[in-house]
Structure 1
Amino acid sequence: MPVFRYKARDKSGIAVSGAIEARGQKEVSYGLKELGYKIISIEEEKGVSVYIRRLTDKFRGISQQEIVFFARQLGAMMRAGLPLLDSFEAIVSQTKNIKFRKILVQIVEDIKGGKSLSEAMHKHPKIFSVFFVSMVKAGESAGILHQMLDRVSAIGLAELDLKARVRSAMIYPILLVFVSIGIVTFLLVAVLPKFIAIFEESGAKLPLPTLVLLTISGFLRQAWYAILAVGAGLGFLLLKYLRTEKGIYKFHENILRLPLIGELTLKVTVTRLFRILGALTKSGIPLMNALEVVKNIVTNRVFVRAISHIREAVGGGTSLSAAMKISGVFPPMAVQMVSTGEKTGTSDEMFMQISDYYDKELDYSIRGLTSLLEPLLLLSMGGFVGFIALSVLLPIFNLVKVFKK
């Protein structure tokens, strides 16, 4: 569909502008009037920019940052006293992501049609998580929607910060691994073969490291297609296995058992789990409902299964701390803190304290992991390059002895 750029004024007289995909100018005009805008101009985009926009919009999704910013904007506007629909219309006019804008317009139409905000959001589960919808529903019931939106945005920002810290900690080691593999492969495939003819013509006896390296180099150059085919085949089978419930469960279970990486994964999961659980229970959502929401948000299958069993046990009368202890996946410290919260009647506050505690622990784990991995990878890279250099230099020294004779 063609893209139309518009200029208009909202109900407050503030100038707004943007771009909309539509079948024609009449459809754009109707949509803007539905939002209460006074139209100044509507022009169809033409030229190369149209194709570039369509291409970028086709592959561009809706990021978590955009959803968090939306919650923050909506909460701020409602806290300032703006009605829900007016707040939405103001946000729609400022949203540049066409896909997200379409969803927001659909939500506005659903609200005008008599649905609540939580019901309208529930129709878009890929955009608005179960946690987001549950918090909005609780806010609607208690008449504190703006407070719930503030909590959602605060939790969202904490989640983004958590992901950023883990990502930044892993980027350098991963990059170093790929650079090491690239350098070693280049030396074996492109550099070493140039010395082979010289070594063979000299008739000198080649040392063991050189023979090993020549064998590896020859295998890589002659059977690279077979290596790629086997790698692709194994990758396909692995992906197929990971799509099964048993496969992804085993994968997540083995990740938790890995040294360092397993500890990091555990702390990330526990931090997220108790942060969301604390936000839900503090908002008045019953524990059983909160556990169901958390189960749908946590990605590690080991914890998903554990939470399912915990929910069943709690429903049967077992305390949350006892059910967590039986599951065997939660750290003893977390279980002890939950037990303390149950005894003192401050479970929601204790959930947030557990999240804060493991969030700090996560920082220590990230620093420890990076401080260990970086020198280890550098030493490994230096060892491989040194072995290759030694394998090349040893026969050269032998050649010098042959020429002297």
Structure 2
Amino acid sequence: MAAFEYAALDGRGKQKRGVLEADSLRQTRQMLRDQGLVPLNVEPASERKTRSQGGGFSFARRLGALDRVLLTRQLATLVAASMPIEEALQAVAQQSEKQHVRALVMGIRSRVLEGHSLASSLAQYPGSFNDLYRSTVAAGEQSGYLDKVLDNLADYQERQFESRRDVEMAMLYPVVLTLLAFGIVGALMIYVVPDMVGVIENMGQELPTSTRVLIALSEWTQSYWWLLLIAVVLGVAGGRWLLAQPNVRLAWDRQKLGAPFISRITRSSNAARYANTLSILTSSGVPLVEAMNIAGEVVSNKWLQRRLTDATQRVSEGSSLRVALEGVGYFPPMLLHMVASGESSGELDSMLDKVARYQQSEVERIVTTLVRLFEPLMLVVMGGLVMFIVMAILLPILNMNQLV
């Protein structure tokens, strides 16, 4: 039995969408007709691409970060209550208000009913459940502690979601302020300055240098604003294309690990992500070498990924984790000390969790400090630009008054 998504019309001509479990597409359509519905579209529930009504644009329907957190937490609670996994999945699907989430969960349930494990069922949706998630669930199934593993996984995802949300909220104000500043200056240059410049030029006197510069900038902005917009768009697109090239991305990531200010954020954030992933995997019973392979893929810096591959190889050859990570050369000393302590005490997963929390709070502190420094700096820059415009307009008027 599989899950099928459908779109159908009821007796009033209103379109309805939902998910049904059936053996085939034909049976699904017959079930809809038995309910008094006219099937419009029936297809297997999957993590497929959907097309917009306008035409060719398409996008993959995946679980969002918050949806995944809620699903994991609900599943952990139901499994802990000794509910069979297929019933727990059905309950989670029924509680969801989003059609694509319901369809995805029912698709997972249909594979579980066919005899597949939960981890292998999740593998059918790689965009929604990454290697870390699937390996952790597989370890929980093998150890018999799936409820505890899911609970730990939910805690981990909640911390990740909250950290990302806090950084995004901290960046919201300076981004809005920057856009507002450029918008105000652009509006002044296009709509206000030309009228004032026309009055000044009619005075027939020699203009100060600042005024001539302002006139030139205003004329250029009026004539070529579209060129500036195209340059910005092409610059962003070109930068993204360059970073998509493996060699360029590798060189760029290597430079970030040594650049002032950026290196501290890059190292701390990647250390937090690596330690967090390694902690959740080792505490779930995943072997250390396998956990290091998965955790290395979670790291966003490509150069660091390459170095971690070498570290994983050294551990597989018998080296200690502390020595292997020290050979990477980019991890903070505290992480190395905590790993050494965890290895000697037999509490590696606990130590990794503590150092991951510390590194994550360090990243948030650095980002918050930089954001707070950026806000007054942006105000000073904006004030300086407005002052330049005002002085460039007022100087000729003051000079004319002195001549009179």
Give the TM-score normalised by the residue count of structure 1.
0.84
In structure 2, how many angstroms separate the alpha carbons of the residues matched to 1:21 and 1:102?
6
* Alpha-carbon distance in structure 2 between the residues aligned to 1:97 and 1:303: 38
Aligned counterparts of 1:186 and 1:45: Cα–Cα separation in 2? 53
Distance change (3 Å), C-alpha of 1:190 and 1:332: same
CA distance in 1, matches of 2:19, 2:285: 41
SS in 1 for 2:18: strand
Query: Which residue in 2 is equivalent to 1:306?
Result: 307
Deviations 1:118-137 (A, max 9, x none): 11111211111111111110
Task: Decide whether the 8 Å contact of 1:260 with 1:369 is kept in 2.
Answer: no
Gaps spanning 5+ residues in structure 2: where?
Answer: 11-15, 41-51
Aligned to 2:7: 3
The more displaced of 72-81 and 363-372 is 363-372
Offset of 1:193 from its aligned partner?
0.9
Query: Is the 8 Å Cα contact of residues 85 and 108 (structure 1) preserved in structure 2?
Result: yes
TM-superposed deviation, 1:250: 3.1
Aligned pairs (5 A) from 1:190-229: 190-229=191-230
Partner in structure 2 of residue 102 of structure 1? 103
Within 5 A, what are the aligned runs for 1:198-347? 198-347=199-348
Contact 2:268 2:332 in 1 (8 A): no
CA 1:30–1:97: 2 relative to 1, 3 Å: same
Kept in 2, the 8 Å contact 1:20–1:28? The answer is no
3-state DSSP class of the match of 1:20? strand
Residue identity matched to 1:219: W
Q: Equivalent residue for 2:132?
A: 131
Deviation at 1:244, TM superposition (A): 0.8
The residue type paired with residue 209 of structure 1 is S
Looking at structure 2, the residues matched to 207 and 241 of structure 1 have their Cα atoms a distance apart, in angstroms, of 43
Structure 1 residues 210 and 25: alpha-carbon distance in aligned structure 2, compared to 1, 3 A threshold: farther
TM superposition shift of 1:24:
9.2
The question of whether the paired residues in 2 share the 8 Å contact of 1:241 and 1:247 is answered with: yes
SS of equivalent residue, structure 2 residue 266: helix
* Aligned residue type for 2:337: Q
Residue in structure 1 matched with residue 362 of structure 2 by the alignment: 361
Tell me the SS of whatever aligns to 2:202.
Answer: helix
Question: Match of 1:13?
Answer: none
CA contact (8 A) 1:5 1:43 kept: yes
**C-alpha separation in 1, matches of 2:163 and 2:36:** 43
| Runs of 4 or more consecutive aligned structure 1 residues displaced over 6 Å after TM superposition | 21-25
- Higher mean displacement: 236-245 or 133-142: 236-245
Partner of 2:397: 396
The equivalent of 1:20 in structure 2 is 18
Distance in 1 (CA, whole Å) between partners of 2:78 and 2:6 is 32
Shift of residue 353 of structure 1?
A: 1.4
CA contact (8 A) 2:322 2:336 kept: yes
How far did residue 258 of structure 1 move? 4.7
1:107-158 Cα deviation digits (max 9, x unpaired) = 2221121111111111211111111111110111111111111111111101
Equivalenced residues, count: 377
- CA RMSD for the aligned pairs? 2.9
The 1-side partners of 2:38 and 2:95 are apart by 19
Q: Which residue identity is paired with 1:198?
A: V
Quick one: which amino acid aligns to residue 136 of structure 1? V
1:186 and 2:187 correspond = yes
Gaps of 5+ in 1: 7-17, 32-38, 47-53
Match of 1:379 in 2: 380
| Contact 2:139–2:284 under 8 Å retained in 1 | yes
Distance between the aligned counterparts of 1:44 and 1:159, measured in 2?
44
Classify the secondary structure of the residue corresponding to 1:318. Answer: coil
CA distance in 2: counterparts of 1:73 and 1:333, whole angstroms: 35
- AA aligned to 1:143 is G
Name the aligned partner's letter for residue 181 of structure 2. Answer: S
String of CA shifts for 1:318-370, please: whole Å, max 9, x gaps: 32222222222111221222122223332212111111222332343233222
**Pair 1:235–1:180, CA change in 2 (3 A):** same
Shift of 1:44: 6.4
Letter in 2 for 1:303: L
TM-superposition CA deviations, 1:286-321 (whole Å, max 9, x none): 111111111222222233222212112222233222
TM-score (norm 2): 0.84
Q: CA shift at 1:29, angstroms?
A: 7.0
Contact map agreement 1:4 1:25 (CA 8 A) in 2: no
Q: What amino acid maps onto 2:75 in structure 1? A: L
Change over 3 Å in CA distance of 1:400–1:28 after alignment to 2: farther
